Structure 1
Amino acid sequence: MIYLLWSLFNIGMLVWFLLIAFGALKLFLKEMGMVSTIIFVIGIFSFIKGSVVNDQNSGYQLQKNEVVEKHNLENAISFHLDLSYVYKKDTTYTGQLSSKILVTGLISGHGWNPELTYTEIKNGIINYNVTGEHQWKLLGLVLYNQKQEFKGTIKLK
């Protein structure tokens, strides 16, 4: 519930900021003129950092008998943290598995930074250890880093 409330608070703050920004732009346009306003807007946009990364298909090709599964680590009203792992079905493989963390849902005002994701299979049981930081943000500014660790086992079907 806290994730949902924090996300809604962040969205409200963003709308309030945009209203202030458009009011300031109108005032700037009136006082400084069109050319100065355009240069000002370009300067503001130059400070915005961000990248769009789609690493869902990170080049890994499933081999014969390999299966992708998900295990829920944290389940809130509007936010889910899942462990995704790949293993070979119908074998007695033991060792480390390929895995990654998936974050889904309404992720406004908070985010997850994985530090260590370790999954190992032995005798049909997966042992996992996931550590990371849950970041609490306000308008993109990190206010608090909350360390989290998830340990457990998953019995294969």
Structure 2
Amino acid sequence: MIYLLWSLFNIGMLVWFLLIAFGALKLFLKEMGMVSTIIFVIGIFSFIKGSVVSNQDKGYQMKQNEAVGMKNLESAISYHLDLSYIYTKDSTYNGKLSSKILVTGLISGHGWNPGLTYTEMKNGIINYNVTGDHQWKLLGLVLYNQEQEFKGTVKVK
């Protein structure tokens, strides 16, 4: 519930900021002129950091002897943190293992910064240890880093 409330608070702050910014832009245009306003807007956009390009994997092709699974690490009303894994099936279930952390849901105002993800499979049991920081943000500024660690096992079928 706290994740949802914090996300809604962040969205409200963003709308409020945009209203203030458009009001200031209107005043700037009136006082300084069109050319100065365009230079000002370009300067403001130059401070925005981040990427619009998605960093998701591009179409992994599973092999015939591979299986996929998912373990929920943390769940809230609007936010889920999951460990996704792909493992090679063999007669002893002691095979290769690949894992990734997936963050889904409404993540405005908070997010997951992954640390170390360790997974190992022996005799059909996956042991995992996931570390990372849950970042609490206000308008993109990190206010608090909450270190988290998840340990456990998953039995594969």
TM class by smaller structure:
over 0.9
TM-score, normalised to structure 2, is: 0.94
Can you give the 5+ residue segments of structure 1 that lack an aligned partner in the other structure? none
Contact kept, 8 Å, 2:11 with 2:108, in 1: the verdict is: yes
For 1:95 and 1:78, the matched residues in 2 are separated by 34
Task: Mark the CA change 1:115 to 1:58 in structure 2 (over 3 Å): closer, same or farther.
Answer: farther
Q: Secondary structure at the match of 1:117?
A: strand
- Corresponding residue of 1:154: 154
Matches within 5 A, 1:14-33: 14-33=14-33
Query: Identity percentage over the alignment?
Result: 85
RMSD over equivalenced CA pairs, Å: 1.5
For the pair 1:41 / 2:45, whether they are aligned, the reply is: no
Can you give the 5+ residue segments of structure 2 that lack an aligned partner in the other structure? none
- Corresponding residue of 2:97: 97
- Corresponding residue of 2:108: 108
Q: How many residues align?
A: 157
- Corresponding residue of 1:123: 123
- Corresponding residue of 1:78: 78
CA displacement 1:114-150 (0-9 Å, x = unmatched): 1011111111111000000000000000000000000
CA displacement 1:83-130 (0-9 Å, x = unmatched): 000012353242552101000000000000110111111111110000
Contact kept, 8 Å, 1:127 with 1:153, in 2: the verdict is: yes
